[in-house]
Amino acid sequence: MADKLTAVKGMNDIAPPQSAHWEWLEERLRGLMQRYGYRCLRTPIVEPTALFVRGLGEVTDIVEKEMYSFEDRLNGEQLTLRPENTAGVVRAVLESNLLYDGGKRLYYMGPMFRHERPQRGRYRQFHQFGAEALGFAGPDVDAELIVLACDLWDELGLTGVELEINSLGQPAERQAHRQALIAYLQAHDDQLDEDAKRRLHSNPLRILDTKNPAMQALVNAAPRLMDYLGHESLDHFNRLRALLEAHGIAYRINPRLVRGMDYYNLSVFEFVTTQLGSQGTVCAGGRYDGLFEQIGGKPAPAVGWALGMERILELLKEQGKLPEPPVPDAYAIVPDAASMGQVMPVLRALRAHGVRVQMHAASLDGMGSMKSQFKKADGSGARHALIFGPDELQQGQVSIKALRADPGGPAAEQRSFALTEVATWAVDLRPV
């Protein structure tokens, strides 16, 4: 016997009933995006490696340690499984010249790949949903995206999700802050851990995001980027704050909120929770006006966010907000396999009328007894059993038995209907 094959570590199957939770979440995300005027963009899972090296920065953790990169054996191209999708969205927008007639509001959904240690809500294949507004420069669209995320928490019934915001200013302002930060950290070299020493000259801003408790006092006393921002950057940030306050949205300014990608500027924000352990960020985003030029296009403003779908589902589970998986409206009991030719067209007609019908089918042991079929019908969660027995079919009828009486309603009953009157009895089968 051949060795049993299993999934790649950190890349998980999503099977029923959990897959129903994913579909429920996806449906709500799509509906919300449509109400805000955002349209779907689908990009390839595989992109040129150079897109991420140029877009994210060579010294980011993602590029240095986490990307799944390989050489195409047929033509020698350097390719990468996408670790994130903002760079891919911008590449697609540039390639298709989508901004030729003005700004675009887009969203995407799908798997991303990073080689990191699998843990709760964090996997090597993980799924992101992102919203991107491209071609819009003002803080009003920054605010719109934040409000959109808040509306999502409300729609899902999530609580305890808090908003943190900051401004990264513009490149020249960050450069001045960077020099001051490096000088400060060099003066306290004896307090830096090995990771901080490695980042000191390549990406010192990331040191401010350290999780090392021994460095927190040092980081808290470090020069603040906010003190290096010019008038225009501060004005953009203050207008964003005013718009959030006009919506009644609570926020906290976190001066240590930074980004691992090089393309961010001005507004950055995160939605965080304390209910998922160390993986507290459930949605993160910000403005990335420099990315278009960085990957070879004309300069264009852009802002967006991405959320981890696994983390959202974990949080919904933690708060008891996940819905029950859908069940059939009716379960068709067919004692005689020879009757399938008469029964199946009726079931198809029912489905055309919006009734969810599960049909009992033959197994290795045959069709099974009526008792076993009723047991299957009950186990399916269906509200009704459709009984296509020999007597019923001979009379051109079906018997409908209620498997679950409505609370406080009449006792379960059994009624018969003509097979030719599907539209009539379909109404009784659909949930109210």
1 located within any domain: no
Look at residue 409 in the predicted model and tell me its pLDDT.
45
* Angle between helical axes of 18-36 and 309-318 (0-180°, round to 10): 110
Residue 50 to residue 46: CA distance in whole angstroms: 12
Q: Which amino acid is at 8?
A: V
Give backbone dihedrals phi and psi of 386, rounded to 5 degrees, phi first. -100, 115
61 located within any domain: yes
* Element housing 332 (H / E): strand 330-333
26 located within any domain: yes
Domain that holds residue 115: 18-169+229-318
Q: Checking DSSP bridges between strand 104-113 and strand 39-40, what pairing results, if any?
A: parallel
Shared-domain flag, residues 135 and 262: yes
Model's pTM, two decimal places? 0.87
Look at residue 408 in the predicted model and tell me its pLDDT.
47
Are the C-beta atoms of residues 51 and 78 closer than 8 Å to each other?
no
Domain count, the chain: 2
Q: What is the DSSP letter of 290?
A: T
152 located within any domain: yes
Question: Which tokens is 382 given?
Answer: 């269906």
Are the C-beta atoms of residues 87 and 297 closer than 8 Å to each other?
no
Look at residue 258 in the predicted model and tell me its pLDDT.
78
Shared-domain flag, residues 347 and 294: no
* DSSP state letters, 152-214: HHHHHT--S-EEEEEE---HHHHHHHHHHHHHHHHHTGGG--HHHHHHTTT-GGGGGG---GG
Per residue of the chain (432 residues), give pLDDT as tens. 778 899 989 899 999 999 999 999 999 999 999 999 999 999 999 999 999 888 776 656 677 778 889 999 999 999 999 999 999 999 999 999 999 999 999 999 999 999 988 777 678 999 999 999 999 999 999 999 999 999 999 999 999 999 999 999 988 888 898 899 899 888 888 888 888 888 888 778 778 878 888 888 888 889 888 899 999 999 999 999 999 999 999 999 998 887 766 678 999 999 999 988 777 899 999 999 989 998 889 999 999 999 999 999 999 999 999 999 889 999 999 988 888 889 999 999 999 999 999 998 876 567 778 888 889 999 999 999 999 988 889 999 999 999 886 544 445 578 888 998 888 888 888 776
Shared-domain flag, residues 295 and 420: no
Shared-domain flag, residues 40 and 132: yes
Shared-domain flag, residues 340 and 306: no
Look at residue 35 in the predicted model and tell me its pLDDT.
97
Are the C-beta atoms of residues 215 and 193 closer than 8 Å to each other?
yes
Look at residue 347 in the predicted model and tell me its pLDDT.
93
Look at residue 195 in the predicted model and tell me its pLDDT.
85
Q: Which residues contact 31 (CB under 8 A, 6 or more apart)?
A: none
Burial of 282 (0-12, 13-18, 19+ CB in 10 A): buried
CATH number at residue 156: 3.30.930.10
For residue 17, give the nearest of 327, 358, 261, 290 by alpha carbon: 327
Choose one of 258, 283, 318: the last residue of a domain: 318
Shared-domain flag, residues 68 and 119: yes
Are the C-beta atoms of residues 134 and 106 closer than 8 Å to each other?
yes
Shared-domain flag, residues 72 and 137: yes
208 located within any domain: no
Shared-domain flag, residues 277 and 366: no
Question: What is the Cα Rg of the chain in Å?
Answer: 28
Residue 385 to residue 358: CA distance in whole angstroms: 10
Are the C-beta atoms of residues 81 and 51 closer than 8 Å to each other?
no
Residue 19 to residue 211: CA distance in whole angstroms: 33
179 located within any domain: no
Shared-domain flag, residues 345 and 235: no
69 located within any domain: yes
Shared-domain flag, residues 244 and 146: yes
Choose one of 318, 343, 367: the last residue of a domain: 318
Q: Which residues contact 127 (CB under 8 A, 6 or more apart)?
A: 109, 110, 111, 112, 308, 309, 310
Look at residue 364 in the predicted model and tell me its pLDDT.
55
101 located within any domain: yes
CATH number at residue 351: 3.40.50.800
Residue 51 to residue 337: CA distance in whole angstroms: 57
Shared-domain flag, residues 149 and 285: yes
Are the C-beta atoms of residues 192 and 222 closer than 8 Å to each other?
no
Cis peptide before 17 (omega within 30 of 0): yes
Shared-domain flag, residues 141 and 288: yes
Look at residue 48 in the predicted model and tell me its pLDDT.
94
Choose one of 318, 350, 376: the last residue of a domain: 318
